[in-house]
């Protein structure tokens, strides 16, 4: 009886060890996939010129995720001025609504970005979303160019200020 229970015990332990091994392999694979996914996501977040952050008005959780998504974009790009449009989709499903229009507008105010409630099914405001995003991108580009000009102007005036006393000195020596 002892020998039998001992062998059962061994079998159980060895199956458990096998299970652990399998679990470890699965876990490692899952972690690898996740790391790869994160790298890919960061890559497109860095490369993207503009973003449509969409949630479903019928799904409060997706609304909360919208904020996380904005933070993620901020973390990856290290700047707040990224062209973004906030979209609450499936606006036709009024009877399933979990997020009010006002909440969407409020979040857009926080993001300082345009906001639309769309319906892919009824094609409500779909084109407007893309037009608004393109406008945001153009505006952002213009600001970047202006910012660059300002910077060169500033460095120019910095140089003239640096050189100014030297010039005066040269002039007074002559």
Ligand X SMILES: Nc1nc2c(ncn2[C@@H]2O[C@H](COP(=O)(O)OP(=O)(O)O)[C@@H](O)[C@H]2O)c(=O)[nH]1
Contacts to ligand X by CB under 6 A: 56, 89-90, 92-93, 119-121
Output the smallest distance, CB 67 to ligand NAG, in A.
Answer: 12
Output the smallest distance, CB 54 to ligand NAG, in A.
Answer: 5
Query: Which is closer to ligand X, CB of 89 or CB of 136?
Result: 89
Measure the CA–CA gap between 58 and 60, rounded to whole angstroms. Answer: 7
Residue 55's binding partner out of ligand X, ligand NAG, none, with CB under 5 to 8 Å set by partner kind: ligand NAG
Bridging pattern class, strands 115-117 and 84-89:
parallel
Residue 93's binding partner out of ligand X, ligand NAG, none, with CB under 5 to 8 Å set by partner kind: ligand X
Query: Which is closer to ligand NAG, CB of 54 or CB of 136?
Result: 54
Residue 22's binding partner out of ligand X, ligand NAG, none, with CB under 5 to 8 Å set by partner kind: none
Inter-CA distances, 154 with 24, 73, 81, 159, 163, Å: 58, 30, 22, 9, 14
Query: Which is closer to ligand X, CB of 82 or CB of 99?
Result: 99
The binding site for ligand NAG (CB under 6 A) comprises 54-56, 62, 89, 120
The string of DSSP letters for 76-103 reads: HH--S---EEEEEE-TT-GGG--S-HHH
Measure the CA–CA gap between 71 and 80, rounded to whole angstroms. Answer: 9
Query: Which is closer to ligand NAG, CB of 56 or CB of 82?
Result: 56
The answer to whether 59 touches 93, Cβ cutoff 8 Å, is no
Output the smallest distance, CB 87 to ligand NAG, in A.
Answer: 7
User: What does the block give as tokens for 18?
Assistant: 């096998």
């Amino acid at each position: 009886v002892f020998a039998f229970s001992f062998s059962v015990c061994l079998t159980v332990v060895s199956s458990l060890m096998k299970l652990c091994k399998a679990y470890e392999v699965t876990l490692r694979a899952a972690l690898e996939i996740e790391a790869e996914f994160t790298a890919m996501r960061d890559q497109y977040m860095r490369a993207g010129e503009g973003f449509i952050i969409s949630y479903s008005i019928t799904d409060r959780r997706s609304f909360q995720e919208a904020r996380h998504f904005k933070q993620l974009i901020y973390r990856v790009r290290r700047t707040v001025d990224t062209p973004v449009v906030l979209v609450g989709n499936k606006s036709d499903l009024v009877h399933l609504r979990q997020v009010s229009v006002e909440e969407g507008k409020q979040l857009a105010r926080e993001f300082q970005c345009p906001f639309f409630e769309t319906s892919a099914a009824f094609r409500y405001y779909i084109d407007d979303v893309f037009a608004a995003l393109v406008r945001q991108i153009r505006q952002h580009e213009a600001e970047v160019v202006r910012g660059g000009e300002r910077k060169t102007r500033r460095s120019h005036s910095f140089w003239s200020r640096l050189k100014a006393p030297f010039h005066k000195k040269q002039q007074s020596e002559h």
